[in-house]
Each structure stands twice: as C-alpha cells, then as structure tokens.
C-alpha cells in the first residue's frame, strides 16, 4: 500500500503539473521603455497608469512649441506576451503637425513592420495606441513605416557596392555631425557622354515622412536592377534619402536642430550659409554646383507623405515638355499605365508662382527646371506598397524622358 500511495501521489503530481498554467509574462514597467534610440522622441516622459498601460507626454521640436515630436520608442525588455496600451498626449493649446496625423508601426526584428492605428480621430492632444501581445521581448515603435538614420546608412552602404553607384558626402548635419550623403547612380561605361544624359534629382525634405523615404528606396532598387540598365545608360540620378539625419532619433517630424521646416528652407536667390538652415544650405549649394557643371539637373522630385495614396504634382514644368518630349499629360498617362495596383493618383499640373522657400517648387523658380512635388501614401501601411510606388514612378520618368537630353 505504501508503494502504491507513492505511485499514485507521483501520478497525481504529474497530472497536476500538466494542467498548471504557464508562467505569466513579466509585467511591463517604465524602466522597460527607451525614448533615446535610433527611433526616439526627445523630451518625452512616461508614467504607468495600470497593468501594461502607460501615458506618454510628448515634447516639441526645437523652437517650435506647437509642433509635437513623434511618439517613437523602444521596449528594451519584457515585451513578450504582453499587450500594451499606450496613451499619448501633447499639452500645446494649438498643436500643429499632429503626432497622430498618420499611422504608426511596430517591429520585433527592426525589419518587418506591422501597422498600428490610433483609436480616436486625430486631434493632436490625446490619443491611444493598442498593441496585441508581442512575440519577442524587444520592440521598436515609430511613425509611418519608420526609417532610422541607422537604417538609411545601411541602405546606402548596400547600394555603394554596385558599380553604378557613387556615394558623395556633401557635408555634415548640424547637431550630430552625421554625414549628409548624396547618391549618384549612372553607368559610367555607357556609350553616351555624361553631358548628354538626362539628370534627375530625387530628395526627401521632411525627415519624419518615412513612407516617402521608402518610395525613394523603391526607385533606387529599380534603377540598380536589370530593368534599369537603359535608364542608367541614358540618365544620371542623384538621391538624397534623408535631409535631416539628426531627426529620427529625436522624433522631429519636419525640422533640423534649428527648428526650421526643411521644405521651407530654400533660398531662390542662392544658397546662403549665414541665413539658411544648415542642412538645406549644404544641399542647395551642392545642387547649384551641379547646375553649373556640364551635367545640369533636368528635374527635381521632392518626396513627401500626405493624406491618401501617392499624389504627384508638377509645380513648374521645364522646357523639355511640349515639342521636345510631348505634353505633361503624356507623362501622366505613362505612369497611370504602369500603376496596375492603383497606388498613385493621376499626375496633375499645379504651378506655384513666386515660391522662394519650397524645395518642391523653388528649384524651378531659380533654374527653370521641372519641379515635381510627390505627396500622399498615408494609407500605404506596408513597406512594399511604398517601394512599389517608387518603382512605378521611376519607370514612368525613364519612359517619358526618352533618348538623350542633348541629341
């Protein structure tokens, strides 16, 4: 009987263990959050409200008390198995460029991003993000489909391995002394002299408009593919992926360390180091040098994120339209035919007269070249959608700009 009792007791112990609940995930605490990573939010504070429920209070961009920093952060431990409620507030009475204008994304591996939408209609003062249980202990959260400066550098490093790419450091950022890179893409072994090729400049001004940056990545990927061979031989492309590289780690949406809106920092009378936002001066001076070379820029494409799908707008048309290549509607029709997944609105012409500050228009005012503003993509929640939109646009550009700039 004694042995039987021991056996029964052991069996009962095994049975009990098999039905025992698994150990619960560690509860998230304030110390598990970091707002100072590659995707950060300068000046943000956090307090615990309840079980896995936190309140973040955002600070603002430099010299712009009504411009909220984005609610970007890392969970550095204990995320696995926890569902998170994050309330976010901004205490300005007149918020502008709202932290909850667009969706956010989260990733447990820094590469694959999943969208998370605000619970309430945007208001810029208070809103909530609800996350499902995480599958890893570490998580990154950022605005749109995020791109940190570290990610941008990794992309540029990868591109630099191509024989068709030259990476030029045109200066350094004001705060972090981060390199300001301009990527040149062309086939230097082409039978066509560089001086006869079309020259297209593609850039992003607002550092927090990450969907626009991924659109640029899609353009570059296509240019470096086998499909881009003819484009590389007939054209030269210049790419600036991130105009204010100090911004992502601070959560700055539109500005540099001086608090200047980077799309309202062009000087149509000429670059001026004394009066112009630092990074804008560096990039405009480099553009002016190109315009004075034997390979002047033909078009400038300003990449932004706004509401809806991608929306390209010609703000100033250069002399190549009309008798040279055909009307602007021809470019519109080419892009529409390529856009089989309806990611892009039809190109439209909406000239801006007298704009001396906008990168999306002022290059036309200064040099007479074609300037195109590319807005939209706020509803493109997946990285691949933004990459595809970029591929469509660059194919449209290279098809319309047929032949050579100088025949």
Domains annotated for the chain, with CATH where assigned, are 30-143 (2.60.40.3120), 149-400 (3.40.630.10)
Average pLDDT over residues 62-66: 98
| Residue 18 pLDDT greater than 90, yes or no | no
Tens of pLDDT along 353-407? 767 899 999 999 999 999 999 999 999 999 999 999 999 999 999 999 999 999 8
Spatial distance between the Cα atoms of 290 and 284, rounded to a whole number of angstroms: 10
| Residue 112 pLDDT greater than 70, yes or no | yes
Q: Per the structure block, which two tokens stand in for 31?
A: 């110390």
The single residue listed with the structure tokens 């390199």 is 179
DSSP strands (E only) in 76-148: 84-89, 104-107, 114-116, 126-131, 139-143
Spatial distance between the Cα atoms of 279 and 268, rounded to a whole number of angstroms: 16
pLDDT value, residue 24: 55
pLDDT value, residue 236: 98
User: How crowded is residue 61: how many other Cβ atoms within 10 Å of its Cβ?
Assistant: 28
Tens of pLDDT along 183-237? 999 999 999 999 999 999 999 999 999 999 999 999 999 999 999 999 999 999 9
| Residue 41 pLDDT greater than 50, yes or no | yes
SS3 state of residue 10: helix
Name the pTM for this structure. 0.93
Tens of pLDDT along 113-171? 999 999 999 999 999 999 999 999 999 999 999 999 999 999 999 999 999 999 999 99
| Residue 16 pLDDT greater than 60, yes or no | no
pLDDT value, residue 407: 87
Residues of the chain by 3-state class (helix, strand, coil), percent to 5: 25, 25, 50
Q: What percent of the chain has pLDDT over 70?
A: 94
Confidence category of residue 352, pLDDT binned at 50, 70, 90: confident
Spatial distance between the Cα atoms of 29 and 50, rounded to a whole number of angstroms: 10
| Residue 7 pLDDT greater than 80, yes or no | no
Q: How many residues does the chain have?
A: 407
Spatial distance between the Cα atoms of 202 and 219, rounded to a whole number of angstroms: 9
pLDDT value, residue 356: 82
* CA 173 to each of CA 149, 155, 184, 289: distance values in angstroms, whole numbers, following the listed order: 12, 18, 20, 19
SS3 state of residue 59: coil
Question: Mean pLDDT lowest for which of 4-18, 150-164, 309-323?
Answer: 4-18
Average pLDDT over residues 242-252: 97
Max distance between CA atoms of the chain, in angstroms, equals 106
What rounded mean pLDDT belongs to the chain?
94
| Residue 23 pLDDT greater than 60, yes or no | no
| Residue 17 pLDDT greater than 50, yes or no | no
pLDDT value, residue 354: 66
Average pLDDT over residues 166-179: 96
SS3 state of residue 220: helix
Confidence category of residue 8, pLDDT binned at 50, 70, 90: very low
Confidence category of residue 105, pLDDT binned at 50, 70, 90: very high
């Amino acid at each position: 009987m004694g042995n039987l009792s021991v056996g029964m007791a052991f069996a009962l112990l095994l049975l009990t263990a098999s039905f025992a609940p698994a150990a619960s995930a560690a509860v998230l605490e304030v110390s598990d959050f970091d707002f100072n990573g590659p995707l950060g939010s300068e000046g943000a504070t956090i307090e615990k409200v309840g079980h896995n429920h936190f309140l973040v209070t955002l600070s603002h961009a430099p010299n712009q008390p009504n411009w909220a920093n984005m609610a970007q952060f890392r969970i550095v431990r204990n995320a696995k198995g926890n569902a998170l409620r994050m309330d976010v507030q901004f205490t300005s009475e007149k918020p502008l460029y709202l932290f909850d204008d667009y969706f956010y994304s989260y990733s447990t591996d820094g590469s694959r991003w999943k969208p998370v939408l605000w619970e309430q209609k945007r208001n810029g003062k208070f809103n909530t993000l609800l996350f499902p249980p995480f599958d890893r202990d570490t998580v990154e959260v950022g605005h749109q489909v995020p791109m940190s400066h570290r990610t941008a550098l990794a992309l540029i490093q990868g591109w630099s391995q191509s024989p068709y790419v030259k990476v030029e450091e045109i200066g350094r950022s004001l705060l972090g002394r981060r390199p300001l890179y301009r990527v040149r893409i062309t086939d230097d072994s082409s039978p066509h002299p560089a001086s006869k090729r079309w020259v297209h400049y593609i850039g992003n001004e607002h550092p927090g408009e990450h969907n626009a940056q991924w659109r640029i990545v899609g353009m570059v990927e296509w240019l470096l593919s086998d499909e881009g061979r003819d484009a590389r031989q007939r054209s030269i492309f210049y790419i600036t992926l991130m105009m204010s590289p100090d911004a992502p780690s601070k959560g700055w949406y539109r500005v540099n360390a001086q608090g200047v809106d980077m799309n309202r920092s062009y000087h149509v009378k000429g670059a001026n180091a004394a009066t112009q936002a630092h990074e804008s001066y560096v990039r405009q001076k480099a553009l002016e040098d190109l315009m004075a070379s034997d390979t002047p820029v033909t078009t400038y494409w300003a990449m932004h994120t706004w509401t809806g799908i991608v929306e390209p707008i010609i703000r100033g048309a250069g002399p190549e339209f009309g008798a040279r290549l055909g009307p602007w509607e021809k470019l519109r029709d080419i892009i529409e035919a390529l856009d089989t997944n309806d990611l892009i609105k039809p190109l439209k012409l909406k000239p801006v007269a007298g704009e001396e500050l906008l990168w999306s228009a002022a290059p036309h005012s200064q040099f007479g070249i074609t300037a195109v503003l590319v807005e939209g993509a706020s509803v493109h929640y997946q990285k691949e959608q933004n990459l595809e939109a970029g591929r469509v646009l660059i194919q449209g550009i290279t098809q319309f700009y047929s032949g050579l700039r100088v025949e």
